Structure 1
Amino acid sequence: MSYQTLLYYCYSPIADAEQFAADHLQFCKSLNLVGRIIVADEGLNGTVSGTKESCKIYMDTIHADERFKKTEFKIDEVEEPSFIKMHCRYKSEIVHSGLRDKTIIDPNKKTGKHLEPKEFLELKDQEDVVILDVRSNYEHNLGKFKNAITLDIENFRDFPNKINELAQYKDKKVLTYCTGGIKCEKASALLLHHGFQDVYQLHGGIIKYGKEAGGEDFEGKCYVFDNRIAVDVNSVNPTIVSKCYNCGITTPKMINCANPECNEHITQCDNCGETLEGCCSIACTTNPRKRPYDGTGYYVKVPQPINKKVKLAEPFE
């Protein structure tokens, strides 16, 4: 049996979004889909996986809804479903911006100019252009565009506080990119709000760029928010740029620390993974709640103890 994994988002107002999330969860379960979907008043953000037949019904249903008819799905053929369970939750935003006043940016009203992958490819190396990665540290440590500017952020909600660091590029064409495009909608809108004049975004993100432009000059792998963890993008001039968090050897493998109270995203070679049992440090190997390491470094989320400060993965793309 063949399966697909769908990555998508849509900024479109949803009335009674909390009820929509509950109903949508039941719909997905009726199709035997697995995945994670965030529903907010501003729209949808999801990754779902299942049989080709179920995925087609899902896409057709989304497109049949007037609110979501422009939704673009990035489709990957996979050997098995990319999740174990189906989650569909209501949240305040489909991508947490970290802004107290969320009304200052609305991707439906003002956002960066969309560049198709081949347009991005043609423009990215021009002299008056800078490429800006708006993803988190663990993502761009695994892979990024050649010569891209990266920011020291743990979550996208930290992005607004980094705007001042980019002031030197206000006279440049700023090309933003992320995994699937959803973060760029808000990041580029925020740059425009702060006086940047010439702001663009890679339409469909790294995933679409890999499919339509061969991933040229994307160095390393692309982090994805499912049990695949990382996927290949570049079929033109591929390279590995990430290094093992523990020993420094070059490795493309990324894991979550086996200690659920840490859950750090790190790149780790197989030797260190075996030695540390999938943990980022010796200290984490002694945690009584340490999860069994099966070599993948992917774990189904489990409830955390109350009042424990836990570092969690940021919302998926």
Structure 2
Amino acid sequence: MEKYNTLLYYCYSTIADAEQFAADHLNFCKSLGLTGRIIVAEEGLNGTVSGTAEACRQYMDTVHADPRFAGIDFKVDEVDTPSFVKMHVRYKSEIVHSGLRNPEIIDPKSKTGKHLNPKEFMEMKDRDDVVVLDVRSNYEHNLGKFKNAITLDIENFRDFPAMINELAQYKDKKILTYCTGGIKCEKASALLLHEGFPEVYQLHGGIIKYGKEAGGKDFEGKCYVFDGRLSVDVNSVNPVVISKCLNCGTITDKMINCANPECNEHFTQCDACGEAMEGCCSDACKTHPRKRVYDGTGYYVKVPQPVNTDKKGLKLQY
């Protein structure tokens, strides 16, 4: 059976004509037979792609050959099947949406927290003068997080700046930030430094790299990932499950998206409730007319809206 790879990566590096780059990069990825999701902005790249081991090797070699992206740290997972169905490369204003686009406040290319490799992070995280800070969204840290980490009540990373005042009580501590692959920490640590936190660090390569190089020690639960797998194992040293079924409270680490596309809530649900609720988070979603067919996975391919149409499918006039 042919093996596949899934690559997770990001890079803050100036791309002069980012919109054209996105179009050209999509064609390049398709030429290799890759599937995945890449965001391109003037500030850099943020991507997860999946394909054969050879196609992924060609992709990494080509990207690394570009001086702008020579320093990319690809996180490579072996998978049985590709982690996506289609290939998307989209141009956006930021590669991770923070709402803070003033380079005088946040510029990950010039000033961020000190990067810690997984071993350094593991050695520091339990010290009395340290606070470990999860900068991910609720549904991510509900599924898994570092033991004793501080978590924030945020739905999206763009909510992070508004939480700075709640973190002021930790200004006398060393702040160790972490996220899935490291990209959110670049902006989170930069903002913390701007707001006067004197010692800020970040886990280089994020949870994924920590699992590969440090065995995932003391990471409790699973790590949410933004592809068809939905979650991956991290801890091979002292694993535990911390998440519960939204509907019945049973311990489970199965992450799904609500079958109602207008809800699309990310949540954990046991198999029994998945069957009973047809992959929905509530009775209201279960009876929604647009409810998708639940196949037991809880992962749904996004159906793009037709160009130049409104939500009712009517052609827009210009």
CA contact (8 A) 2:118 2:203 kept: yes
- Equivalent residues in 2 for 1:57-96, closer than 5 Å: 57-96=58-97
Q: Deviations over 1:23-44 (max 9, x none)?
A: 0000000000000000000000
- Equivalent residues in 2 for 1:45-56, closer than 5 Å: 45-56=46-57
Once the 2 structures are TM-superposed, how far is the Cα of residue 288 of structure 1 from its aligned partner? 1.1
CA contact (8 A) 2:36 2:87 kept: yes
What residue in structure 1 maps to residue 154 of structure 2?
153
Once the 2 structures are TM-superposed, how far is the Cα of residue 99 of structure 1 from its aligned partner? 2.3
Percent same amino acid among aligned pairs?
80
What residue in structure 2 maps to residue 2 of structure 1?
3
Matches of 2:207 and 2:162 in 1, distance apart? 24
Matches of 1:53 and 1:187 in 2, distance apart? 35
Q: The residue matched to 2:50 in structure 1 has which SS? A: strand
User: Which region of structure 1 is more displaced relative to structure 2, 297-306 or 78-87?
Assistant: 297-306
Classify 1:100/1:29 alpha carbon distance in 2 versus 1 (closer, same or farther; 3 Å).
closer
**What is the TM-score with the length of structure 2 in the denominator?**
0.95
Q: In angstroms, what is the RMSD of aligned CA positions?
A: 1.1
**What is the TM-score with the length of structure 1 in the denominator?**
0.96
Q: The residue matched to 2:59 in structure 1 has which SS? A: helix
- Equivalent residues in 2 for 1:1-317, closer than 5 Å: 1-99=2-100, 101=102, 103-303=104-304, 306=310
The one-letter amino acid paired with 1:36 is: R
Matches of 1:301 and 1:103 in 2, distance apart? 36
Matches of 1:108 and 1:10 in 2, distance apart? 9
Once the 2 structures are TM-superposed, how far is the Cα of residue 268 of structure 1 from its aligned partner? 0.5
Q: The residue matched to 2:273 in structure 1 has which SS? A: helix
Q: The residue matched to 2:238 in structure 1 has which SS? A: coil
Once the 2 structures are TM-superposed, how far is the Cα of residue 165 of structure 1 from its aligned partner? 0.2
Matches of 1:52 and 1:207 in 2, distance apart? 19
Once the 2 structures are TM-superposed, how far is the Cα of residue 302 of structure 1 from its aligned partner? 1.8
CA contact (8 A) 2:248 2:273 kept: yes
Matches of 2:103 and 2:286 in 1, distance apart? 41
Q: The residue matched to 1:208 in structure 2 has which SS? A: helix
The one-letter amino acid paired with 1:8 is: Y
Matches of 1:131 and 1:149 in 2, distance apart? 6
Once the 2 structures are TM-superposed, how far is the Cα of residue 101 of structure 1 from its aligned partner? 3.5
CA contact (8 A) 2:100 2:106 kept: no
Once the 2 structures are TM-superposed, how far is the Cα of residue 103 of structure 1 from its aligned partner? 4.2
Once the 2 structures are TM-superposed, how far is the Cα of residue 303 of structure 1 from its aligned partner? 3.8
The one-letter amino acid paired with 2:48 is: T
Matches of 2:303 and 2:188 in 1, distance apart? 31
Matches of 2:266 and 2:55 in 1, distance apart? 31
Once the 2 structures are TM-superposed, how far is the Cα of residue 127 of structure 1 from its aligned partner? 0.5
The one-letter amino acid paired with 1:54 is: A
The one-letter amino acid paired with 1:168 is: Q
Higher relative contact order (CA 8 A, sep 6+): 1
Q: The residue matched to 2:201 in structure 1 has which SS? A: strand
User: Which region of structure 1 is more displaced relative to structure 2, 216-225 or 295-304?
Assistant: 295-304
Aligned residues: 308
Once the 2 structures are TM-superposed, how far is the Cα of residue 104 of structure 1 from its aligned partner? 1.5
Matches of 1:307 and 1:86 in 2, distance apart? 23
The one-letter amino acid paired with 1:255 is: I
Q: Deviations over 1:166-215 (max 9, x none)?
A: 00000100000000000000000000000000000000000000000000
Matches of 2:29 and 2:102 in 1, distance apart? 33
What residue in structure 1 maps to residue 316 of structure 2?
none
Q: The residue matched to 1:120 in structure 2 has which SS? A: helix
Matches of 1:271 and 1:306 in 2, distance apart? 38
The one-letter amino acid paired with 2:176 is: L
Gaps of 5+ in 1: 309-317
Q: The residue matched to 1:104 in structure 2 has which SS? A: coil
Q: The residue matched to 1:47 in structure 2 has which SS? A: strand
Once the 2 structures are TM-superposed, how far is the Cα of residue 306 of structure 1 from its aligned partner? 4.1
What residue in structure 2 maps to residue 314 of structure 1?
none
The one-letter amino acid paired with 2:99 is: G
